[in-house]
Amino acid sequence: MSSLFQQQIQPQIQSIKPYVPGKPVSELQRELGLSHVTKLASNENPLGASEKVLAAMEIALKDIGRYPDGNGFYLRSALAEFNQVALNQVSIGNGSNELLELVGRVFAGPGDEIIYSQYGFAVYPITAQIVGATGIEVAASNYGHDLAAMAKAVTERTKLIYVANPNNPTGTCFGRDEWEAFIQSIPPHVMVVLDEAYLEYVDQVDYPSGLDYLADYPNLILSRTFSKAYGLASLRVGYMLASEEITSYINRLRAPFNVNHYAQVAAVAALHDQQFVQQSVELNRQGKKQMIKALEDAGLDYIPSQGNFICVKFGLDAAEINQRFLQQGVILRPVANYGLTAFLRVSIGTHQENQHFIDALSKVL
């Protein structure tokens, strides 16, 4: 870029590192001349979407020339009913990613502080940068959020705290006691975003569901997605639940047609097919067992995960081992950008996809 334009770019935008997406399966196949490639890099649902979703989208195809419903009435109504909240407490986004960023823009700007955990989901520090706020990273405890330390990090400049339960990429999950002590200690004017992107997969018995706290804590915002257990990652649809007041501000900032018609139709159908969600969760549970056994047999350490992925410790050679996995046709997620240089993240796939990873494991080590 010419230096003339570089001067015009906002300083906080100049310092953002561009997101590097994983290679598409087809490109890797072509590059390496492989016939069989397994992508376990993006925490997607290996079952794809439910048949009911596909059928609903087929019917909706005839509407392709029309704008979507800008208010997302049917989807928001379905979500309000599903979660037993008022319609005006639901906002929808082009993936929960968009909403996580919108909340940052609603509440924080230059001079403000946004708190998140070390190894917390990448969108939180990026949002702090985008809005020009100061990102405050709080050291993790055993790879998970140290909620007590995060509460202590609140100052008079703090506007927003992002917590993910479970967290990506670590899969760590905090329990009810820790959460309640945290949320009770946060000043009521400081917003807390509880990102529950992976909640459907959680087995932990003392998992605190954010919904149980929404009525008592008006500074609480819940973030959910259809990209994981519901299998709609390509359509980009997520939602937030918050007080009606907060939701009205998120809606003011939202582009009028931010969630396309097919995403809305598919999400309603997906929400009504909880059997598919249960099937996906069970597949994940079995797949995680299969993967953990293989990792333990290979003598590898990993971070215990409540999500649909596992962060595996490969040591100093992790980057090289990632290349060897690619040669074997297995795409994993390097997490060096999180400071986890010794780890690679592997998503849980179908039984056969997991087996491809396991077969490759013995060859790459």
Q: Which residues bind ligand PLP (CB under 6 A)?
A: 43, 95-97, 121, 164, 168, 195, 197, 225, 227, 233, 238
Residue closer to ligand PLP (CB basis): 229 or 364: 229
Integer-rounded Cα Rg, in Å, for the chain is 21
The nearest distance, CB 259 to ligand PLP, in angstroms, is 11
The nearest distance, CB 11 to ligand PLP, in angstroms, is 27
Tally of CA atoms within 13 A in the half-sphere of 22 that contains its CB: 22
Tell me which residue has its CB nearest to ligand PLP.
Answer: 95
The nearest distance, CB 167 to ligand PLP, in angstroms, is 6
The residue behind tokens 């905090």 is 174
Which segments of 33-154 does DSSP mark as H helices, in order?
51-60, 73-83, 96-107, 123-131, 147-152
Q: Measure Cα distances from 238 to 98, 100, 113, 123, 271 in Å.
A: 8, 10, 25, 14, 12
The nearest distance, CB 227 to ligand PLP, in angstroms, is 3
Residue closer to ligand PLP (CB basis): 18 or 33: 18
Residue closer to ligand PLP (CB basis): 223 or 328: 223
In order, the DSSP letters of 281-318 are HHHHHHHHHHHHHHHHHTT-EEE--SSSEEEEE-GGGH
The nearest distance, CB 126 to ligand PLP, in angstroms, is 12
**Residue 289 neighbours by CB distance under 10 Å:** 12
The nearest distance, CB 60 to ligand PLP, in angstroms, is 20
Residue closer to ligand PLP (CB basis): 97 or 172: 97
Residue closer to ligand PLP (CB basis): 127 or 168: 168
- Give the angle 250-255-257 at the CA atoms, nearest 5°: 120
Q: What is the dihedral of CA 132, 166, 210, 205, to 10 degrees?
A: -160
The nearest distance, CB 164 to ligand PLP, in angstroms, is 4
Amino acid at 66: R
Instruction: Tell me how far apart the 2 most distant CA atoms of the chain are, in Å.
Output: 57
Residue closer to ligand PLP (CB basis): 38 or 168: 168
Distance CA 218, CA 178 (A): 19
Residue closer to ligand PLP (CB basis): 50 or 167: 167
The DSSP bridge pattern shows strands 113-117 and 158-164 to be parallel
State residue 239 phi and psi, 5-degree precision.
-150, 160
The nearest distance, CB 172 to ligand PLP, in angstroms, is 11
Question: 137: helix, coil or strand?
Answer: strand
Residue closer to ligand PLP (CB basis): 108 or 360: 108
